[in-house]
Amino acid sequence: MAIREVLQLGNPGLREISQAAEDDQMTAKIVDDLRDTLTFLQEKHQTGRALAAPQIGYKKHIIYANLPEEEIVMINPEIKEYSQEEFMVWDSCFSFSLAFFVKISRYREIKVEYQDESGRTLVRNFKDDLAELFQHEIDHLKGVLATDHLTDGKNIIMREEWEKTIKNSERSK
């Protein structure tokens, strides 16, 4: 168990395609490292919900999410279904040092099949913010970053400006 350094935009390791995880001690170590690293980052930045193994240097299909209502470990996740409906979201990433946001399109609902830490296969539906989150994290397993989904260079904003304009306007709705 350790707090690991998060690879940053431009590091070629973020672009490598990860491999399936095995049910072994290494997978357990990666989950522990993801848990420790995300907990540290959440305390430090007061934000963030999940990390994928490639972000901390492991080329394995493992995601750890620490949400207010639950902790989710996804081993070998695969999106089985996408809704037809899409929506626009402002997305940031620990691999961008949370320095900026990109406005991108994501599917509103997804169905994901994965194994949990005990090896059980689960199939869950996620919608809205959780659908966006797990699409983002599963992209990391494929070497894809949120910036790859940008279709308009005007849809990028520095964090400070996002907090002043976008975040505050969304709160007032």
Structural domains of the chain, count: 1
Per the domain annotation, does 4 fall within a domain?
no
Per the domain annotation, does 153 fall within a domain?
yes
Question: What is the reported pTM?
Answer: 0.94
Kindly report, residue by residue over 77-133, the tens digit of the pLDDT: 999 999 999 999 999 999 999 999 999 999 999 999 999 999 999 999 999 999 999
pLDDT at 173 over 70: no
Query: Sorting pLDDT into bands at 50, 70 and 90, what band is 23?
Result: confident
Active site amino acids:
137
- The answer to whether residues 132 and 142 touch, using CB atoms and an 8 Å cutoff, is no
Kindly report, residue by residue over 34-85, the tens digit of the pLDDT: 999 999 999 999 999 999 999 999 999 999 999 999 999 999 999 999 999 9
- The answer to whether residues 169 and 157 touch, using CB atoms and an 8 Å cutoff, is no
Distances (CA, A) of 48 to 38, 84, 97, 133, 171: 8, 27, 11, 10, 18
| Domain of 53, in residue numbers | 12-171
Per the domain annotation, does 91 fall within a domain?
yes
Per the domain annotation, does 152 fall within a domain?
yes
The CATH number of residue 142's host domain is: 3.90.45.10
| Predicted pLDDT of residue 170 | 66
Per the domain annotation, does 5 fall within a domain?
no
